[in-house]
Amino acid sequence: MTVERPFDFLNSSVNKTVLVRLKGKRELRGKLMAFDVHMNIVLEDVEELEDDKVLKKIGPMLVRGDNIVFVSP
């Protein structure tokens, strides 16, 4: 996989599990279903994590792009 632009990475991560860090150090793990040019993302099977432990299962979620610090495979 060649990544030349940030959206190349997101495109290659659709239908895969990703880790998302939000402002305030909140972490989510879920399957990336969709995203837009503002980096708003739709996740399924979302779990909130703390110290790599699952705090709670959330289910589907829309995350606003301006709250995202990073997305990792």
List average pLDDT for each run of 10 residues in the chain, which is 73 residues long.
82 96 96 96 97 94 97 92
pTM: 0.90
In the chain, where the domains are located: 6-72
- The CATH number of the domain covering residues in 6-72: 2.30.30.100
Which residue type does 51 have? D
Which pLDDT score is estimated for 6? 82
Strand order through the sheet with 17-22: 53-63, 41-50, 27-35, 17-22, 68-72
